[in-house]
Structure 1
Amino acid sequence: MSRLLIVVDRAKDWAPYYPSDDVLTFDEYLKFTAPASSRVRVINLCQSAKYLSRGYYCSLLAEARGHHVVPSVITLNDLSRKGLFSLELEELDSSVLEWLEASGAAVKPGEDDRDATHQVRIKTYFGQAEHAALKPVARALFERFPSPILEVVFKRRKGWQIESMKPASPADLEEHEQDAFAAALDRFSSIVWRRPKSRRRYRFDLAILVNPEEQLPPSDKQALECFEKAGKKLGINVEQITKRDYMRLPEYDGLFIRETTAIDHHTYRFARKAEAEGMVVIDDPVSILRCTNKVYLADLLKNNKIPTPKTLILSKDQKDSVHQVIDQLGFPVVVKIPDGAFSKGVLRAEDEKGLKDALKTLFKQSALVLAQEYFYTEYDWRIGVLGGRAIFACKYFMVKGHWQIYQHGENQEVDSGSFDTLPTYEVPRNVIQAALNATRLIGNGLYGVDIKQAGNRVAVIEVNDNPNVDAGVEDRFLGGELYTLIMQEFLSRMEENRRR
């Protein structure tokens, strides 16, 4: 389990806030020691961050001790270099510029507005700002220069620029600013002094990354609650986070991504950061990279002789792609973009005209497109694999009157077929073996392998790096045991991390 420390210059700097044993003065932090196996997060709130000041040494010592500290020494050094943040702000949201204009100094009588210098001084708190219009600026600055409190000065000459930016401490805040800082700190971190007894019951902390607005998330709300209950029984404090909690990751021992992943997406950045922090992470970045691109996956499976439908990789500039598909695959044929999910970006062509139209549509989205033989079955197998073993099995049936499991209609409506959940021992052995063989090429995380079966023929369609685990579907046979199995895997890996 991670430990959170707040470091200030003097105890009185924290006087306006709730007292806690986790708030240390700089001198106390100098003497602080922690077990080698523990994870320590430090929020450095010392007043001065100049080179060789207390604040500078706080961040420097934290990094030397293997503690994750905000701000880092790199951030402090970057903030001392004006050239890095003297940025033009013309491309920002119009509401930001309007607020800056309204808040800027008035033009003096007789002064040409084009030559006037306007100045606005604000403070940001963990990427938050008191004024709603400035939230995009505050968030962007925090992502680039992660620092608890930043004092930012904007100046307008011909256009708005950041004139200066420096770290600040709680001692620098007015009373109304103290409230804004405390609220931002509370959002940024699950503050230990707010729930001391409940948090300290648990051996480990696990973050589950979710998107409450996602239409088809990998786990529904009831399943997420089941993960939390299963974790708590095993001594794991499970907490849901969103993309805004990126800087909070080092507070946790593990990350479980329950949001649809993509490479050019915050889910991949979360996985990369969690891995860099030494956390246990599912989906790990390598699995995301290998699974989310169907071109990579198709080539990987083919080169390792994993049975798949006949597949061609087509290039946008390829002149004979249509004839190649007709000669080698025939009709009907399925064409798909490399990074589609939930049957999106997948089309079926019945003839040459339909194929040309499908390729024209998909090549607008990707330089490469997959063409695949149409292998019809009434259902697809979905085999859930965790750590190299099959843990659940489902039959996903096609939508009635449709050729896919999902059918996307107008107004973002999505229809799905029925399902049947079975114990893994009732699944044909060659189906289970194909799933295990395919996932060994990816890693040892949690995967969902889609397989078609007709008689003795088995074909792996794809390997999903964050398969659905929904209440009443994938858990229909195992019930709560499915969630326990997954949480137990996290527990084993986090224990192994602690022993290292």
Structure 2
Amino acid sequence: MADHIILVENPTDWKSHFPKLPVVAAKDYLAKPEYSSAGRNLRVLNLCRSYRYLSVGYYCSLLAEARRHRVIPSVRTLNDLSRKSIYSLDIEDLDDHVQQVLGKPRPGFTATAFELDIYFGQCPAKELQELARQLFGVFRAPLLRVEFRLQGQWRIATLKALHLHSLSTEQEEIFLGALATYLSRRWRQPRARNNYRYDLAMLHNPKEAMPPSNNKALQQFIRVGRECGVNVELIEKKDYGRLAEFDALFIRDTTGIDHYTYQFAKKAESEGMVVIDDPDSILKCTNKVYLDELLRTHRIRMPKTVIVRRDNLERVDSEIPYPIVLKIPDGSFSRGVFKVNDRTELLEVAGRLFKASDLVLAQEFLYTDFDWRVGILNRTPLFVCQYFMSKEHWQIYHHEPGEGRTTREGDAKTFRVEDAPEIVIKTAAKAASLIGNGFYGVDLKQTSKGIVVIEINDNPNIDHGVEDTVLKEDLYRKIIEDFVWRLDRKRGK
């Protein structure tokens, strides 16, 4: 059997002048045993006449997913399109892109609505090609029609699937060209990674100023992964539509709820992939209000904390002495964290933070020369670091104010797990276990009053030259091997 098949509802839909490709009648795909027993790498291109709920076309995609074939469009895409709703990755970014392109003055263009047809991510209008690619990345349907409307500014109004049998002669020509390009990129040239046991996508942002893993660390993951029989491939935000090509996702990008990293995690989970950071861990770890409640409920010591609202702001300094640390709930890398020394600063800084969040955290100020960081994977400590405060500053990261600002970072020292204080390890392990069995970095302070947990990070740093100083490449190997273990369990091995 070929490594890919094209499904049509009526054999006459694949016309005589179309290229000779492995075309299969939808009824045969649904009924014949050779297709139900085909391997998981079979790629299925569903070109049925209808994708409505419980139609033949819908069942083709549904059974393809049950058979673990790699099908487009997926059932999720069909459901999204059928509701005429855009449940997509960062749709605001797409609308912004629409406005950038269509908002430019064009002589003689007075329309307030128009349609664009997209064929496998390709479109006839060159100025809209990047948008077409992005839409195909989110909605991997072979043929899409997009309606744009001018509603104050240009926006995507509706999306719907087109069907092969309804194409005009001119559209057929565009379709066949786009199909040839799509097949050559995806199927006719199998990538070397198909020789590996598993395929791991590692999401990163090459433009991020302070990523969770530096470039040398990413390359170590790739090299060690291959030694472990895992093909590790770097992907970016634009590769959202390719997630189903992989067995697992490892997020090496700073996470957030209102962020594409969370959408990637949710998509990977819905595809049945192994994913770190999983959506639940992102949800729990990125919000400091949640962490405060969680740790207090389980009697894990943390700095004295007050959840601040506009109506109790005036009473905060009666509960916590100055200086007070104010935090937005979802900050990272010392961003959104401010120290205030008196009531004037308290009111001024809190006022600014309330513009972004209805709740703010106020904490007692506990200065130490360094914070402990314990990296924990699947409830097992992996590494221990001391992160020292930035020179002449009270935080590890010092973000300089003003335009063109720079960020200064304190030094770091890495220890063997067995050489770190036992109480640090035990406290970190207990805290991380409250989140799950993923990959976490627990930050703690060692004070005169004992060990205090500052926060739990869902995507702790793995930087070459810092966290890997003790274990070296074994650190990367332990993480890759954990993915293999999870994947083996999922497949019942």
How far, CA to CA, are the matches of 2:153 and 2:395 in structure 1? 53
The corresponding residue for 1:131 is 125
Partner deviation per Cα, 1:418-466 (whole Å, 9 max, x = no partner): 1111111111011111100100100010001111113561111000000
Instruction: Measure, in 2, the Cα distance between the counterparts of 1:4 and 1:258.
Output: 32
Work out the CA distance in 2 between the residues paired with 1:286 and 1:164. 30
> Cα distance 1:343–1:65, how it changes in 2: closer, same or farther (>3 A)?
same
CA distance in 2, matches of 1:268, 1:236: 24
The residue type equivalent to 2:216 in the other structure is: Q
Please give the alpha-carbon distance, in whole angstroms, between the structure 2 residues aligned to 1:163 and 1:478.
52
* 3-state SS of paired residue (2:188): helix
Q: 1:93 to 1:136 in 2, by over 3 A?
A: farther
Provide the C-alpha distance between the structure 2 equivalents of 1:154 and 1:212, rounded to a whole number of angstroms.
31
| Alpha-carbon distance between aligned partners in 1 of 2:486 and 2:129, rounded to the nearest angstrom | 38
Contact 2:374 2:442 in 1 (8 A): yes
- What SS class does the counterpart of residue 200 from structure 1 fall into? helix
Q: Alpha carbons of 1:491 and 1:64: their partners in 2 closer, same or farther (altered >3 Å)? A: closer
Does residue 405 in structure 1 map to residue 396 in structure 2? yes
Give the TM-score taking structure 1 as reference length: 0.82
- 1:449 match: secondary structure: strand
Matches within 5 A, 1:415-430: 415-430=408-423
Q: Determine the structure 2 residue equivalent to 1:362.
A: 353
Letter in 1 for 2:456: V
- 1:100-499 matched pairs, under 5 angstroms: 122-135=116-129, 138=132, 142=136, 146-151=140-145, 165-169=160-164, 178-183=176-181, 191-195=186-190, 198-318=192-312, 321-325=313-317, 327-409=318-400, 410=402, 411-455=404-448, 457-499=450-492
Partner letter of residue 118 of structure 2?
T
Q: How many residues align?
A: 472
Mark the CA change 1:163 to 1:446 in structure 2 (over 3 Å): closer, same or farther. closer
CA distance in structure 1 between the aligned counterparts of 2:266 and 2:85, rounded to whole angstroms: 28
Structure 2, unmatched stretches of 5+, are: 88-93
The offset of 1:253, in angstroms, is: 1.2
- 1:153 Cα deviation from its structure 2 partner: 7.0
Counterpart contact for 2:4–2:44, Cα < 8 Å = yes
1:351-409 CA distance string (max 9 Å, x none): 22222222122122211111111111101111100000110111111111111100111
TM-score, length basis structure 2: 0.83
Structure 1: gaps (5+ residues): 105-112
Task: Please give the alpha-carbon distance, in whole angstroms, between the structure 1 residues aligned to 2:95 and 2:216.
Answer: 44
After TM superposition, the structure 1 stretch with the greater mean CA deviation from structure 2, 307-316 or 5-14, is: 5-14
Change in CA separation of 1:323 and 1:213 when aligned onto 2, cut-off 3 Å: same
Identical-pair percentage = 44
CA distance in 1, matches of 2:286, 2:95: 35
Distance (Å, rounded) in 2 between the aligned partners of 1:240 and 1:13 = 39
Alignment RMSD: 3.9
Matched residues in 1 for 2:161 and 2:456: separation?
47
> What residue identity is the alignment partner of 2:6?
V
Moved more, 432-441 or 171-180: 171-180
Cα distance in 2 for residues equivalent to 1:467 and 1:163:
40
Cα-to-partner distance string for 1:253-305 (whole Å, 9 max, x where unaligned): 11111111111111111111211221111001111111000010011101101
Which has the larger displacement, 168-177 or 358-367? 168-177
Given that residues 73 and 141 in structure 2 are in contact (C-alpha distance below 8 angstroms), is that contact kept between their aligned partners in structure 1?
A: yes
Secondary structure of 1:194's aligned partner: coil
Show CA shifts across 1:106-131 (max 9, x none).
xxxxxxx8xxx899664313445343
Aligned equivalent of 1:95: 101
**Aligned partners of 2:72 and 2:142 also within 8 Å:** yes
Measured in 2, the distance between the counterparts of 1:164 and 1:424 equals: 53
Shifted more, 214-223 versus 357-366: the winner is 357-366
What secondary structure is seen at the aligned counterpart in 1 of 2:435?
coil
Instruction: State whether residues 249 and 273 of structure 2, in contact with CA within 8 Å, keep that contact through their aligned partners in structure 1.
Output: yes
Q: Secondary structure, in 3 states, of the residue corresponding to 1:129?
A: coil
Whole-angstrom distance in 2 between the partners of 1:403 and 1:77: 51
Structure 1 residues 212, 14: CA separation in 2 closer, same or farther (over 3 Å shift)?
A: farther
- 1:7 deviates by 2.1
Question: Match of 2:90?
Answer: none
Which segment drifts farther, 272-281 or 389-398?
272-281
